[in-house]
Amino acid sequence: MKNEFRFGRERIRRLLNRLSEMLEREKIRGEILLFGGAAMVLGWNARRATRDIDAVFEPPARIRRLVREIAEEEGLQDAWLNDAVKGFIDLLPDKADFRKSVFSTDHLHIYTPPPEYLVAMKALSARTEVEAEDTHDLKFLIKKMRLKSPAAVFRLVSKYYPKRPIPAKTVFFVESVFEDIGK
């Protein structure tokens, strides 16, 4: 039976250190850009744990193979570190904007997107029924950025997802988050 518990800060760091060791063994360098819960845990210290680590990474084929090896060693699901988030990325800011390094070794560098990007992504996904953490994350980011209105969030969604219309569920989600913040 594969372990299906959550990943806290220390466990994420331990697993990433193991990945770095494996990259060093193969004499390659890797980069990982964290999204979702892992970005909130490791990059912004906004919550204690996440169910998986959503990211984009280089070199993808090698990292996927090493992630499977670690999964076997640790009794984890193969997708404990996955790049499924690529389907939710339309437009990334300049790489220079992602230089908030949250973890680094000689063979592995970990970054997070700027909070503006995470706001847009969390708002657009509007996963209230599935992920209570998304509501908490969006509140955290709105407060951190001192956003004053739903319109400010919608501008960020339009900036990073210019080809997507803002769905009604996003409008309702963001408005309800601002109502909760105002209480």
Where does residue 174 rank: exposed (0-12), middle (13-18), buried (19+ CB within 10 A)?
buried
Q: Please, what are the averages of pLDDT over each run of 10 residues along the chain (183 residues)?
A: 70 96 96 92 90 92 97 94 85 62 90 91 79 86 96 95 92 94 81
Look up residue 9 and give its two tokens. Answer: 């800060």
Domain extents in the chain: 7-113, 116-182
The residues, any chain, with a CB within 8 Å of residue 91's CB and separated by 6 or more, are 160, 161, 162
Specify the pLDDT at position 126. 83
Q: Check if the beta carbon of residue 135 is closer than 8 Å to that of residue 163.
A: no
Specify the pLDDT at position 3. 46
Which residue, 115, 99, 79, is CA-closest to 7?
A: 79
The answer to pTM > 0.85 is yes
Specify the pLDDT at position 125. 86
CA 66 – CA 78 distance, rounded (Å): 10
